[in-house]
Chains A and B, each alone.
Chain A
Amino acid sequence: MWMWVVHRVTGVAIFFFLLVHVLDTSLVRVSPEAYNEVIGSYKTPLYGLVEAGLVAAILLHGFNGLRIIAVDRSTWALRHQRQLVWAVWIAFAVLMVPFLWRHLGHVFGGA
């Protein structure tokens, strides 16, 4: 049940991000200055945290999506569905920790 809420909320969030993301990328057709200025705001601490949230949303929605597919396809996965929810969170944590380490280093470390 909770995973269903997580899946919906992350799916919608990613969708709206994607609409904006294609618009900001399209500024490369306006001028290098326009693109660099807007992308510059993505490097501020606030946006750095938003990007971390976005990556978290992608990983959760993606791994949970694989779990949904597995549970629909195989009775083994259906029987082990509680463990698979754990697997989603563990895979999420295993990728998130090194990601945050490096990404927040770029955002807050100046480099």
Chain B
Amino acid sequence: MMTAQPSVRPPRTPSGRTRRNAEKWSWVFMRITGPVLLILIVTHLFINLMTGDGISQIDFAFVAGKWASPLWQVWDLLMLVLALLHGGNGMRLLINDYAHHPWLRKVLHSALGIAVIGIIVLGALVIFSFDPCPVDADPSLLPSFCEDVR
């Protein structure tokens, strides 16, 4: 399969990264995370939109029910981290393609980095600091297992 390297003219827009093989790792990363994300997200969509009453069933108690299980906590964490890194890396490539001024690139790359890290930290905190039975909440909005907790 891999025979002589075809000669390809340099890319239209060099990425600006100097570490050896950095863009090769980006390429490999997209190809590993993609198929994993397909399984994670299709399952997420199937459970939340197709089982039970679909979109109509989603409320605080539904989320509490799911995150009572470590399986869905870890599932959502993986989906959160991989989707944001894959999507964020994809956006970085698009910035390289479309933003030609070095300063504009820098601004967009910084904004992207901050957004990706901020959302990963927020999402992870939400999953693991989640309280399914807040004391001052209306009991009718809470999952049924909260009765036993009090």
Contact = CB atoms under 8 A, between A and B. Distances in A.
Interface residues of A, number: 40
Given A26-B122, A36-B141, A69-B34, A102 B87 contact: no
Interface stretch (B9-17, B18-26, B55-63, B100-108): B55-63
B130 A29 contact: yes
Contact of A36 (B50, B60, B123, B126): B60
Interface of B: 1, 31, 34-35, 37-38, 41-42, 45, 49-50, 53-56, 58-61, 63-64, 80, 83-84, 87-88, 90-91, 94, 115, 119, 122-123, 125-126, 129-131, 134, 137-138, 141-142
Nearest to A8: B94
A28 B80 CA distance: 16
Contact of A42 (B38, B58, B138): B58
A11 B130 contact: no
Interface string A29-73: 101110110010011000010010001001100100110010010
Interface of A: 8, 11-12, 14-15, 18-19, 22-23, 25-26, 28-29, 31-33, 35-36, 39, 42-43, 48, 51, 55, 58-59, 62, 65-66, 69, 72, 74-75, 99, 102-103, 105-107, 111
Contact of A32 (B1, B41, B60, B87): B60
A102 B50 CA distance: 7
B137 A15 contact: no
Contacts of B123: 22, 25-26
Given A15-B90, A33-B137, 5 more contacts: A22-B126, A25-B63, A32-B60, A35-B59, A62-B37
A32 B35 contact: no
A106 B56 contact: yes
Contact of B134 (A11, A31, A72, A105): A31
Contact of B55 (A12, A32, A33, A43): A43
A29 B126 contact: yes
Q: Give the one of A12, A28, A62 with max B CB within 10 A.
A: A28
Contacts of A102: 49-50, 54
